[in-house]
Amino acid sequence: MNYLIPFLILITVVVFIHEYGHYYFAKKFGVGITDFSIGFGREIFGWNDKSGTRWKICWIPLGGYVKFFGDRNVFSQAEQNELINKYNESDRKKLFILKPLYQRSLIVFAGPLANFILAVLIFATINFFVGKDVTPAIVIDVKNDSPAFTSGMLKNDKILALDNKKIESILQVSTFINTSTSELIEFVVLRNNSEITLFIKPNLIDTKDAFGNSVKKKIVGIRLAPLNGEFKKQSLGVMQSLFHSINEVWFVSITSLKYLGSMLTGASDTSQLGGPIRIAKITGQVAEHGIVPFLSVMAYISISLGLINLFPIPMLDGGHLMFYFFEKVLGRPLKQKTQEGFFRIGLFLLVSLMFFATFNDLKDIGLF
C-alpha cells in the first residue's frame, strides 16, 4: 500500500491533465463529449454534468479517455456521407470527425501539450518555492586506473560542461553522464583558472541506485561533493523559474528521445525500459522522501506520457496526427481499410511494448 497509494495519486493526476487537454479544446470547438474516464473497464463511480458528459472512475487505473459524440476509431469519405444522413443538423455540429482539420489536430495535440505544461508548472513551482541547486561540481577524488584518471582528470577540477551542456549543479553530472549517447563524453573542467577539455569513455556497471534497485550505470571514476558539505540553493523569480523549467522539460524530452533511439539501434541497455510496476515501485520509494521528490517524479512521468502519445503509432495521439497529415496532403481521409490496417499494426506494437516492459518489471523485482 505504501507504493500503491502514491502511484495511484500520480497516475490519476497525470492522466486527468492529459485527458483534460483533449476535453478543453473539444469543448472550445463545440464537440459533444459523452464520457470523461479515468481508468478503463468497469465503472467504480461517476456522475453526469449539465451538458450530459459522464465523468467516471474505472477499475483499471492505467490510463483514461475522452469519448466524443458519435466517436469512431476510423473515418473515411464514405462514412462522412453516412454520418451526414444519420444525424440532424444540430447533432452534426457536435461531431468531432466533421470538424475542420486544424480543430481536430489541436484537440488531439492538446493532450500531450497538457502533460508538458503540467511538468513546466511543477518544475517552476519547485524552483520558485524551494530554489534551484547551484552547487559547483568539484572533483574531490579520482579513482586510480579509472576512465577519468586515465584521461587526466585531477582532484579539485571543477566540471563546467559535459557534451556541450553547461553544468549548473553538482546534481547534473551523474544525470548527464548516464543520459549521454556518446561513446566518449566531452568534459570541460576548470583547473588553475584555465579551461581544459577531456574525453572520457565511461564504464558500464551493474549497481544499485539510492533506493536499492538494480540498475546499469555509467561511471567515470570520480567523486563529487559540495564545499563544506553544503548544497547551495538559489531563489528564482517567476520568470526565471519558468525559463529554467521549460529548459528542463526540453532537456528531458530530447534526452529521452535520444535514449530511445539508441535502444532501437542496440547502443543502449533495453533492460532500463520499465512499465507500470517499476513506475509504482519508484513512485512509492520517492514519496517516502517528501513532496518535492514526489512532484519531480510526477513531472518526469508527465513528460514521458506526453512524448509517448506523440509517437506516430495508430491508437496513440501521434497516430491520429499522422492520419491528419495524410488527409492534408491527399485532400481526403485515408480509406477505411487502410486506417484499420494501421490500427492493427499499432495494436501489435503497443501490446509488444507492454509485454516487454512488464517482463523487465518482473525481472526487476526478482520473478525472472
CB-count exposure of residue 59 (10 Å: 0-12, 13-18, 19+): exposed
Higher local confidence (pLDDT), 212 or 104: 104
Instruction: Check: CB of residue 236 under 8 Å from CB of residue 244.
Output: yes
Higher local confidence (pLDDT), 237 or 216: 237
Confidence at residue 241, expressed as pLDDT on a 0 to 100 scale: 95
Confidence at residue 44, expressed as pLDDT on a 0 to 100 scale: 95
Q: Residues 326-336: what's their mean pLDDT?
A: 87
Distance CA 179, CA 186 (A): 13
Instruction: Give the model's confidence band at 269: pLDDT under 50 very low, under 70 low, under 90 confident, else very high.
Output: low
Cell of 56: 467516471
Distance CA 363, CA 358 (A): 8
Query: Does residue 273 have a pLDDT over 60?
Result: yes
Query: Does residue 155 have a pLDDT over 90?
Result: yes
Handedness of CA 75, 79, 84, 88 (dihedral sign): negative
Query: Does residue 76 have a pLDDT over 60?
Result: no
Query: Does residue 160 have a pLDDT over 60?
Result: yes
Percentage of residues in the chain having pLDDT higher than 90: 58
Kindly report, residue by residue over 221-253, the tens digit of the pLDDT. Answer: 999 988 777 788 888 999 999 999 999 999 999
Confidence at residue 77, expressed as pLDDT on a 0 to 100 scale: 55
- Is 19 an annotated catalytic residue? yes
Query: In 3-state terms, the chain is what percent helix, strand and coil (to 5)?
Result: 50, 20, 25
Q: Residues 132-160: what's their mean pLDDT?
A: 94
Distance CA 318, CA 263 (A): 20
Distance CA 97, CA 218 (A): 49
Query: Does residue 346 have a pLDDT over 90?
Result: no
Confidence at residue 263, expressed as pLDDT on a 0 to 100 scale: 75
Instruction: Give the model's confidence band at 212: pLDDT under 50 very low, under 70 low, under 90 confident, else very high.
Output: low
Higher local confidence (pLDDT), 73 or 323: 323
pTM of the model: 0.88
Of the listed 19, 230, 248, 288, which one is catalytic?
19
Instruction: Check: CB of residue 16 under 8 Å from CB of residue 36.
Output: no
What are the extents of the domains in the chain?
A: 4-128+303-364, 132-234
Q: Residues 286-314: what's their mean pLDDT?
A: 92
Q: Residues 191-216: what's their mean pLDDT?
A: 84
Q: Residues 275-290: what's their mean pLDDT?
A: 80
Kindly report, residue by residue over 162-192, the tens digit of the pLDDT. Answer: 999 999 999 899 989 988 888 899 999 999 9
Task: Provide the phi-psi class of 47: left if phi over 0, else alpha when psi is between -120 and 50, else beta.
Answer: beta
Work out the number of other CB atoms within 10 angstroms of the CB of residue 17.
Answer: 20
Query: Does residue 329 have a pLDDT over 90?
Result: yes
Cell of 80: 462522412
Lowest mean pLDDT among 28-37, 93-102, 257-266, 340-349: 257-266
Say which residue the cell 544525470 belongs to: 175
Kindly report, residue by residue over 48-75, the tens digit of the pLDDT. Answer: 999 999 999 999 988 899 999 877 654 5
Q: Whole-number mean pLDDT of the chain?
A: 88
Topology of 132-234 in CATH? Pdz3 Domain (2.30.42)
